């Protein structure tokens, strides 16, 4: 844990949020204690973050090395074209899954789709189901500019509605989707015996 105090002419100071030097003796005891606790916890958090980063790197190195061996022996990868693959222990009680997911964004066509959908809902009036209106509201209820509820959006695309304007709106949504890259995810599972259900090995701090 780093020492936040600064000694000047034999007197201890701490820097506040505005960058000013404040004599330690004038800072309330609870604020000093809070600073100490935060610095202690952050020290552990940095160490854990670095450890997880190293673990992730070593994990992909080991799995990629195994895939390289398979390529040499069979001249083909264990995974599919997108790289999704599952590795399992011989006793069937542990497995590691690697998933490659597309990272997507949405173009200006999405706003055109929203306008067409709104026109449909207005025209249908009371005939439009409240569930449909709620779904549309959830899709376009953005918390930050440029973000959208993607899960609900794909639920919207699965609806079978014959209206031609609605179909044009769905076409616009399809055309708005841009694949900007891919990201690899690795997940870990275990179970006490091969007949039991898989249990996730939690590494995500929020889910621990």
Phi, psi of 162 (to 5 degrees): -80, -20
pLDDT digits (tens, 9 = 90+) for 65-108: 888 888 787 766 555 555 688 999 999 999 999 988 888 888 88
Question: What percentage of residues in the chain have a pLDDT greater than 70?
Answer: 89
Where does 15-125 have alpha helices with state H?
29-74, 109-124
pTM: 0.64
The domain segmentation of the chain, as residue ranges, is 1-76, 106-177
Provide the pLDDT for residue 155.
85
Q: What whole-number distance in Å separates Cα of residue 17 and Cα of residue 29?
A: 17
| Main-chain dihedrals φ then ψ at residue 143, nearest 5 degrees | -90, -30
Model confidence pLDDT, tens digit, residues 13-66: 999 999 999 999 999 999 999 999 999 999 999 999 999 999 999 999 999 888
Q: What is the pLDDT of residue 143?
A: 47
End-to-end CA distance of the chain: 25
């Amino acid at each position: 844990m780093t020492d936040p105090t600064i000694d000047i002419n034999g007197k201890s100071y701490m820097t506040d949020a505005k960058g000013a030097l404040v004599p330690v003796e004038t800072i309330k005891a609870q604020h000093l204690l809070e600073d100490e606790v935060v610095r202690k916890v952050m020290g552990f958090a940095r160490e854990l973050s670095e450890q997880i980063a190293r673990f992730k790197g070593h994990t992909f190195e080991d799995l990629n090395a195994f895939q390289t061996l398979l390529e040499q022996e069979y001249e083909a990868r264990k995974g599919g074209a997108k790289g999704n693959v599952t590795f399992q222990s011989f006793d069937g009680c542990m497995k590691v899954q690697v998933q490659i997911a597309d990272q997507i964004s949405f173009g200006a066509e999405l706003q055109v789709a929203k306008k067409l959908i709104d026109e449909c809902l207005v025209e249908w009036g009371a005939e439009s189901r409240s569930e449909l209106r709620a779904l549309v509201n959830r899709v376009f209820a953005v918390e930050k500019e440029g973000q959208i509820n993607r899960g609900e959006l794909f639920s919207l695309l699965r609806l079978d509605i014959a209206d031609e304007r609605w179909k044009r709106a769905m076409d616009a949504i399809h055309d708005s989707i841009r694949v900007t890259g891919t990201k690899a995810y690795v997940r870990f599972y275990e179970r006490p015996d091969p007949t039991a259900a898989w249990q996730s090995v939690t590494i995500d701090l929020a889910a621990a």
